[in-house]
Amino acid sequence: MEGLWVHGVLLIFLLPCPVGSQTSSIPAQRWWTDPNEAPSQHQAARATQEQKVDDAQEGLPPQPHCVRCCPPPEKRFYPQYQPVPQINMTILKGEKGDRGERGMQGKFGKTGVAGSRGHAGPKGQKGSMGAPGERCKSHYAAFSVGRKKPLHSNDYYQTLIFDTEFVNLYDHFNMFTGKFYCYIPGIYYFSLNVHTWNQKETYLHIMRNGAEVVILYAQVSDRSIMQSQSVMLELKEQDEVWVRLYKGERENAVFSDEYDTYITFSGHLIKYSGDP
């Protein structure tokens, strides 16, 4: 009887479960009590339980019983993802290193558009005095001479010789020959003044290198008068300018005395040929 009671108790637990009831009085978590337990341990526990039930039903007719035939889905343990801590590199900044070598110069870029003109700045301070420059090179030439003796013509041409020197800059006028010699080429102005002799003809030329340039002439008259002639000439270096008394059929003469100067001849440089 004791053995039957044991088997009857076992049969109660192994009878089929009514519809809508629990499939087994054994909790579903029986086979998976520990989520960290490996699946092989659950299978071994299930096999042991089934073996005990089979031993209790020995000697009884086969009875239907509800057995959990499908194991719960396999659960694997995956370790929880732990994000890698981010390190702020700015707080790990080290000391400033040495300056490297200078690299090669790059290509020049395109020229930009010129900007607008800026505002005028304030006036600066006065600078120091500079070094003295070269002396200005100026060119001068001038003369003015006179004659105090009268002169009468004869059978040949005569050069008018002057005995009084008013101005003779750099001795360009030769008092012995009565000629002006050009040492500075350029444009010159010449002027001749004479006093005529009454009842005599006055006939002279201003000469350049042996050629007549201008004439000074006065006809025979009962009274003497002052006559003048002037001219501008462009001279080259070594040109000569003088006054010549003309040889004619009539008596030709110019008047002067020892007390006053009636005859003058002057000239000066107006423009040097090397100036712009």
* pLDDT of res. 267: 97
* pLDDT of res. 68: 61
* pLDDT of res. 50: 62
Note the Cα 175 to chain centre separation in Å.
Answer: 64
Torsion of CA 51, 57, 58, 62, to 10 degrees: -110
Q: Considering only the C-alpha atoms of the chain, give the largest distance between any 2 of them, rounded to a whole number of Å.
A: 209
- Whole-model pTM: value is 0.51
- Do the beta carbons of residue 228 and residue 263 sit within 8 Å? no
* pLDDT of res. 37: 47
For the domain 142-272, what is the CATH code? 2.60.120.40
How many other β-carbons are positioned within 10 Å of the β-carbon of residue 44?
10
> Which residue ranges of the chain lie beneath pLDDT 70?
1-79, 81, 89-92, 134-137, 248
Q: How far apart are CA 182 and CA 239, in angstroms?
A: 5
* pLDDT of res. 83: 74
**Beta carbons within 8 Å of 17's beta carbon, 6+ residues apart:** 23, 24, 66
Structure tokens at 267: 């000239």
